[in-house]
Amino acid sequence: MPSTDMGVVFSPPTLKPPRKMQRLAKGIEEKPWKAGLDISTFPPKTVSEILLLLDSGQDELISILDWVHLLDHKAAWDAVHSDQDIARTSAKIFRAIAKDNSLTQLALFRAALTIDGSGTLFPPILLEHLHLLSDSVLGRQKELLDIVLHSKHEDFLAIAGLVATADLSVEEFFSRYRLPRCTRLKQETMNSLPRLFEELDLSSRAGWCLYMLKETDRSLSVAMLEVLLSKRQGDVQKVPYVLEWLDENCHPRHDEGYWFELSESSHSALRELITISDFHYFRKLVDLLRDSTISNALRLDEHGLKQIKSRSLFWAHYESRILSLRILVPGDTYQKLPMFIQTADWLERFEEQGGSEAVVFEFEHVLILEVLRDVASEIRVFLKNTRNVNLLLRSNPASLERFRNAHQDGVHDHAVCWQWACEQWLRTNYKILPDDRVTRFRGLPPAASSYSRLHGLPAPDGDMLDRRSDELEYWSASFYAREQSLGKHGAELDRAHGQTFSLKGINHRERGRKDEYKRCLSKASELGDRYAADELCQPLIEEAKAFGRRRNIAKMRALLEKAAGQGSAEAMVALALASSQTEYDRRQGDEWLKKAARLGHPKARRILRMD
């Protein structure tokens, strides 16, 4: 049915003139093209026609599209012409490029893209002799030419130097010269920044260096920081605002900072450049807990307050060894602290309402949990692997129960004379020494406070050791009961129990009770304490080393196998790393390594990539 029969009438569409196209065509004279007309008109010219215009000095008749065509196809033209023609035409092209800034930009842009790997957009013969333009271009074009020439010779360190001189980021620098598409060249230049940081004049370029740390990706920033800290520490120290930046961005108190991504050598440099230790916050907490208003509210007696004070005094002797610390309090304590302390960024709250305050210390290879008070309060050592770092230093909300439930490498008491025993335990088992300047331990009686790096603190007298033995028995029973209440069982519970026997053994050794000492260590080893097993097997291990030095491999292996069979993780690792003569030995070594790793031996765990 026609639309008019339905009463519907359609209007014809409005025809709008193509105004944009009309503006573009304005001034163009319409001419019919015929063969034989001047070669500067449509259709596009051939390479030979363009070169003929160059030969005749009619550069102005060559359009930008003609130049693109020439640069695209000159290589093919060169392939069928003589060396003389190639050299003559190349010289003409260079001369024309040098005369016109727009043409210079086009040519160098295409040369850069060719070097970048985006295709053959610039004739190889011209690229090979591009340096001939150096005396013919000036200003921005000369700068662009230098960038292209450095790229051609893979000298990205020189380009990075130009970036520094321009006081720009790499991205901004390439955009300035209209080379944003040269992604490989940009990346190579960025990759050269760490090398540039090795030689840059920090007195004049420190601000630019900090800008680069902000503008580049994280891994590259870490690499540049490693250079500044490990190779330029002396120069960095002379620039105050760089030190301020390091304190704000590399201090371990900042979760999003660079500290956890930097190497140990950089950590050492940072500790010399800025104040890393947050130990004063620990002292602040102790002072708050000893305040009469708070201590009365928490019902802390005089003995408890002295014990808390003794904790901070002891760990103060290790302040320079502590890389970072975390201070946590239960809800009851948190609610009784002043408001300005509650909001302090150094204080964190346990999810438990009751219980003890605690401090987590980060050392080079271990994390230490110090529980300040409560029944059978303790010191626990954890290997510094990713799991333990996330739990003890980063978990939110944090839980003392979860900390205690984790697999610890060792545990120590707070019974009488615990400072003497703990210093020895840290030094012997974990190679953790007090600060270099320490000659006396504050908080101990004068006769017990002198410290020697070789021998540690003076051993308590017999009466004090007997008293310590009695307190250790009570502490051990209370500690074991709490481990059971946490839900630990099997090997984990046995290992914790074994660690208490090791502590008792140290006391017996000091009293000259060799049989009791060996009994405690044997029990500890039997329950899975690797330190006790290593101590018991040390004579075997030393004898094995002596046979190894005499190249008596069979005897060495026999002694190591005996020690490993008695539970020595050190012997297990030595067996795994010893030169193996047979496939059977290698398989056995792998099994020993796995067993040592299960016992918590750090080297075995690193080899097997368990941490």
pLDDT tens for residues 96-131? 999 888 899 999 999 999 999 988 899 999 999 999
More confident residue, 457 or 532: 457
**Is pLDDT at 602 greater than 80 in this prediction?**
no
Mean pLDDT of 137-141: 89
Mean pLDDT of 58-68: 88
Residue 32 confidence (pLDDT) = 55
**Is pLDDT at 485 greater than 70 in this prediction?**
yes
Residue 154 confidence (pLDDT) = 94
Nearest partner of 291 among 329, 358, 337, 331, judged by Cα: 337
Mean pLDDT of 308-313: 94
The DSSP symbol for 601 reads -
HSE (side-chain half, CA atoms, 13 Å) at 336: 21
List, in sequence order, the alpha helices (H) in 117-217.
Answer: 124-128, 139-152, 156-166, 170-176, 183-191, 193-199, 202-215
Residues found in the chain: 611
* CA distance linking residue 73 with residue 607, whole number of Å: 58
Mean pLDDT of 565-584: 78
* CA distance linking residue 417 with residue 532, whole number of Å: 21
**Is pLDDT at 348 greater than 50 in this prediction?**
yes
Residue 136 DSSP SS3: coil
**Is pLDDT at 343 greater than 90 in this prediction?**
no
Nearest partner of 464 among 422, 428, 418, judged by Cα: 418
Residue 490 confidence (pLDDT) = 86
**Is pLDDT at 22 greater than 60 in this prediction?**
yes
**Is pLDDT at 597 greater than 90 in this prediction?**
no
Burial readout 451-466 (b: 16 or more C-beta within 10 A, e: otherwise): beeeebbebbeeeebe
More confident residue, 579 or 304: 304
Residue 534 confidence (pLDDT) = 79
Q: What is the pLDDT of residues 501-531, one digit of tens each?
A: 888 888 888 888 888 888 888 888 888 787 8
Q: Distance from CA of residue 57 to its chain's centroid?
A: 62
Residue 463 confidence (pLDDT) = 93
**Is pLDDT at 36 greater than 50 in this prediction?**
no
Nearest partner of 313 among 454, 487, 129, 442, judged by Cα: 442
User: Could you tell me the pTM of the whole model?
Assistant: 0.56
List, in sequence order, the alpha helices (H) in 274-375.
Answer: 279-290, 292-297, 302-316, 331-336, 339-342
Mean pLDDT of 43-63: 87
